Amino acid sequence: MDLSELETVVFGCQPLKVSKQQLDSVKRAYDFLTDFAKDKVIYGINTGFGPMAQYRVSDENLLALQYNIIRSHSTGAGEPLRYEWVRAAMLSRLCTFLNGKSGVHPDTVGQLIAFIQHDILPVIPQHGSVGASGDLVQLAHLSLALIGEGEVFYKGRRMPASEAIAQAGLKPLKLHLRDGLALTNGTAVMTGIGCVNLVLARKLFDKAVLGSVLMNEIAASYDDFMADELNSLKNHFGQSEVAARMRRHAKGSQCLQSRSEALYHRHTESQFKHKVQPYYSLRCVPQILGPVLETLLNAQKILEEELNAVDDNPIVDSDNKMVWHGGNFHGDYVSFEMDKLKNRRHQNDYVGGASGQLFVSRPYQRHPAAVCQFGRVGLELWFAGGAIYCHLHNRRVPDVVQSHVCPFDSQ
């Protein structure tokens, strides 16, 4: 599954497409694990969890163990996660199971599909994670709803999960050999949130590129700052691609000016009325948004890899007749990309904030009334774009390390 497919399911509520081959691989892994685990010690199947893994669990308590990990870890606090984050988290967990390497019962996959299709959204508190070391608490709350406990949002109401399951004509999930551990152990929530945030960040990025072209049109900028001959010399894909997108948006513009036509001939005036080169925040858009684009593209690569990965432990490998123990539940790949995305989102906002300040400030007097006044000039208050930018900056880094670039002629 790629990010576009996830977007259609999470935001467009499009039907899921699950192949028979995928469902067969789930059953094959479950059948293998059922037989393989009979006379072996396997973490989380016949042992405790975490530091309690040194203690064997008796056969008569194996199913209780799977319920216990869900109930014991459903200890989150705070406001519920947003609807689209929860949809994406369920979809991410489903993608892991459809690899056929988790050993879950086919009914577990069926319940996840049913919840997504019926838009039954478990109430998952925002707080209580263990950082990048898996999504134990959040996934426990997700799993709690699948077994008919906890709460969900359904048809616009918050209600007990058991009530929503009954209304949808479903039944609470009955856990099998390792379903509880498989449901709670992984990176599905951070991956789902990351995917949703990336989808939204890409939309904002596209608007920033288009808005930058419009700002340059208002300023009647010379268009050579977008030239491929200039930007390709910097050797960065992102910068060249942003410049190319700006050129496509600006094609046919009647506002941008040609430097060759306006300046590359004999002049006699000693002072030029029009800016010889656009303001810093206008002409440096490819250099500013180029790194943002590359961050978005790399985040997409990592998140799509994680979305389609087996982020479980242990791994049930029916092909090689082995159960592997490791740390695939760890989420540093996702967390690193989200840290970078947060920082670059601020850079994205800088373009709008700086250029917005430009058109409401004294150094730029060409169109302030037309651009920023929506009523009687002098009576209506102007747009305080700088305040928005500063607020976003404060959310990104501590105040003590702030440094704001001047949007005018600092360079």
400: helix, coil or strand? helix
Query: From residue 87, how far is each of 113, 324, 341, 377 by CA, in Å?
Result: 11, 29, 21, 47
Residues 6+ apart with CB under 8 A from 34: 177
Distance of alpha carbon 193 from the chain centroid:
5
**Do the Cβ atoms of 87 and 61 come closer than 8 Å?**
no
Amino acid at 65: L
Element (H, E) at 145: helix 136-146
Question: Where does residue 71 fall: left (phi above 0), alpha (psi -120 to 50 degrees), or beta otherwise?
Answer: alpha
- Strands of the 121-122 sheet, one edge to the other: 121-122, 151-154, 157-160
Is 43 noted as a catalytic residue in this protein?
yes
**Do the Cβ atoms of 238 and 292 come closer than 8 Å?**
yes
As beta bridge partners, residue 323 has 316
Q: What's the 3-state SS for 32-84? A: HHHHHHHHCCCCCCCECCHHHHHCECCHHHHHHHHHHHHHHHCCCEEEECCHH
Could you give phi then psi for residue 205, rounded to 5 degrees? -60, -45
- At 53, list the tokens: 């893994």
**Do the Cβ atoms of 363 and 408 come closer than 8 Å?**
yes
Query: From residue 278, how far is each of 106, 281, 363, 367 by CA, in Å?
Result: 61, 8, 13, 15
**Do the Cβ atoms of 172 and 110 come closer than 8 Å?**
no
Q: Of these residues, 43, 154, 264, 333, which one is catalytic? A: 43
- Sign of the Cα torsion 177, 181, 184, 186 reads negative
Could you give phi then psi for residue 141, rounded to 5 degrees? -65, -40
Could you give phi then psi for residue 40, rounded to 5 degrees? -130, 160
- Sign of the Cα torsion 303, 195, 75, 132 reads positive
Q: State the catalytic residues.
A: 43
